[in-house]
Structure 1
Amino acid sequence: MTYCVGMRLERGLVFMSDTRTNAGLDNIATAKKMHTWEIPGERVITLMTAGNLATTQAVVGLIDERTKAPAERSPSILQAPSMFQIARDVGQTLKEVIADNLAGGQEASAAAFGATMIMGGQIKGSAPRLFLIYPEGNFIEASDENPFFQIGETKYGKPILVRAFEPEMGFEDAIKLLLVSFDSTIKSNLSVGLPIDYITYDTDSLCVGQQARIEEGDAYYSAISSGWGEALKVAFGQLPEFRFP
């Protein structure tokens, strides 16, 4: 399992993903789940993946191959005329990879090879866009009513996003909010864990913004984790007392 969040702000886009791919007392592995392609000044595209690792790596591999020789490998996300078309191409690639696995005689259901993806970015001349892509190849787009998407282990980190998200917040506050969401998820589920990757994208910059990996022992993440726990205890103590009738 994994946890990824893509967020649409007035200022631009924010992406964050964990890197855990397997979990157990003696078997923990990591792999990158956030991938970016860009032509500086023309387009920036970020893709995050959750689900069957073989499926997601195959999809990313196919997308990457098509960008290296677009004249011979179509469709290429670096040539598509719109973010909507890129979402369609990525969705179709995901659908085809899952179908190929099933056609190969694997004794498993489609769910075993399933994956979901968050894809966002901007092409020059159009606005930034953010999409959630399903295993069936279809997708939905972020809106004012639905400004962020989660994939993977979503339930533990959603309450703070719903309560604290503001579209006008800056990137720094967005990263802080997402780290609280990730901390809640990591503390609740062994299948999500550090390191955590993030990328920001400023509207109309047409280049990758801030990007970094937060490792185990990171001082700021540790402060967020302990500070949020203490803040919850204080807030709980300030709530009205319950009295039995």
Structure 2
Amino acid sequence: MTYCVAVKLKAGMVFLSDSRTNAGLDQISTFRKMIIYERPGDRFMCLLSAGNLSIAQSVREILQVERLDDGEDAEPLTIWNATNMFDAARVLGSAIRHVYERDGESLKRAGVDFNVSMLFGGQIGTEGMRLFQMYAAGNFIEATGETPFFQIGESKYGKPVLDRVINPDTPLDEAAKCVLVSMDSTLKSNLSVGLPLDLAVYEAGRLSSDRITCIDENNPYFRMVRSTWGEKLRQVFDEIDRPVWDGSPTDVPLMGCSTRSQPLKKIATPKEKLI
């Protein structure tokens, strides 16, 4: 399994992925799930993948040569000549369908689902940044101000902190810290997600990035985040008052705040008590 998250902010974009792939308890491997497509000064694009590893790798390879014909007089569209991220996402969708048409039936006969999902975001030229979530059918949705981040893979463990912190005005470094905390929560709760991690931070308008790193178990910042987050969570938990049933005026009682003071209760009859 895997966990990937991508965030689009006014200040830029943040991408994070783990690298664990497993096909059973005794077959755990490491594969990179992030790939950067960059032409400095012209375009910066980042692709994160989850799902069946062989399908994801095939899509990534085909994407670099995939050509989408938009008409007889139009130059075939690729990720390298697309003039906007929407067209680049269309090329990615075409690459996914290409792999399905080539391998879908044989995978089905082998009992393997065509399971792949991807996050694809970046900036081309003077157009604003865009972020897409791609599905196995090659279709996609785009992030908005109301939904500034996407997750794929084991998303449930890391989502609460993103919901509480991330909004379009979040600074880039704060967002990077938040996605690392989100990843730590996932690592803590799910063994199918594992180090090392790939992190890319893109500043709006730069059309390149020098803030791309691989994080392993010895990375001092991530070790600090993991230990501090755990300690602070425990500290905040300890500072919350325990529930009281009939408190003094200074206590916050657990009972008495609702017109329905008790759940439905069944009282056993004398006959039932003897059974």
TM-score above 0.5: yes
* Partner SS for 2:209: coil
Supply the distance in 2 between the matched residues of 1:238 and 1:24 (Cα, whole angstroms). Answer: 41
Corresponding position of 1:62 = 62
Corresponding position of 1:183 = 184
The answer to whether the 8 Å contact 1:98/1:114 transfers is: no
**1:17 offset after TM fit, Å?**
0.5
**1:25 offset after TM fit, Å?**
4.8
Corresponding position of 1:46 = 46
* Partner SS for 1:201: strand
Supply the distance in 2 between the matched residues of 1:172 and 1:81 (Cα, whole angstroms). Answer: 29
Shift in alpha-carbon separation, 1:218–1:25, aligned structure 2, 3 A: farther
| Unmatched segments (≥5 aa) in structure 2 | 68-74, 246-254, 256-275
Matches within 5 A, 1:17-166: 17-22=17-22, 25-66=25-66, 74-104=76-106, 106-108=108-110, 112-166=113-167
Corresponding position of 2:14 = 14
The answer to whether the 8 Å contact 1:23/1:190 transfers is: no
* Partner SS for 2:94: helix
The answer to whether the 8 Å contact 1:157/1:185 transfers is: yes
* Partner SS for 1:21: strand
Structure label with greater radius of gyration? 2
Supply the distance in 2 between the matched residues of 1:6 and 1:105 (Cα, whole angstroms). Answer: 29
Corresponding position of 2:195 = 194
Shift in alpha-carbon separation, 1:190–1:74, aligned structure 2, 3 A: farther
Opposite residue 166 of structure 1, the aligned amino acid is: N
- Report the TM-score, using the length of structure 1 for normalisation: 0.91
Bigger RCO (CA 8 Å, 6+ sep):
1
- Report the TM-score, using the length of structure 2 for normalisation: 0.81
Residue identity (%) = 43
| Unmatched segments (≥5 aa) in structure 1 | 68-72
**1:85 offset after TM fit, Å?**
0.9
* Partner SS for 2:164: helix
Supply the distance in 2 between the matched residues of 1:236 and 1:23 (Cα, whole angstroms). Answer: 37
Matches within 5 A, 1:203-222: 203-222=204-223
The answer to whether the 8 Å contact 2:123/2:130 transfers is: yes
Corresponding position of 1:70 = none
**1:100 offset after TM fit, Å?**
2.2
* Partner SS for 1:132: strand
RMSD: 1.9
Opposite residue 49 of structure 1, the aligned amino acid is: S
Corresponding position of 1:4 = 4
Please identify, of 21-30 and 134-143, the stretch whose mean Cα deviation from structure 2 is larger: 21-30
Supply the distance in 1 between the matched residues of 2:150 and 2:8 (Cα, whole angstroms). Answer: 9
